[in-house]
Amino acid sequence: MQRLIVLDTETTGLSPENGDRIVELGCVELLGRKLSGNNLHLYFNPERDSHEEALRVHGLTTEFLSDKPKFAEKAQEILAYLQGATLVIHNAPFDVGFLNKELSLLGLQPVTHYVHEVIDSLAMAKEQFPGRRNSLDALCDRLGVDNSGRILHGALLDAELLADVYIYMTRGQHALLGDGTEDDSGENAQPATNRANALSSSALAIDLSSISLPTILPSAEELAAHEAILADLDKASKQQTVWRRQM
pLDDT score, position 245: 61
Percent pLDDT > 90 in the chain is: 64
Structure confidence by residue, pLDDT tens digits, 33-87: 999 999 999 999 999 999 999 999 999 999 999 999 999 999 999 999 999 999 9
Mean pLDDT score, 193-201: 43
pTM of this structure: 0.70
Other CB atoms within a 10 A radius of the CB of residue 58 amount to 19
Other CB atoms within a 10 A radius of the CB of residue 57 amount to 14
**Residues known to be catalytic:** 153
62-66, 185-189, 203-207, 226-230: least confident range: 185-189
pLDDT score, position 232: 77
Other CB atoms within a 10 A radius of the CB of residue 216 amount to 6
Other CB atoms within a 10 A radius of the CB of residue 130 amount to 12
pLDDT score, position 44: 98
pLDDT score, position 225: 85
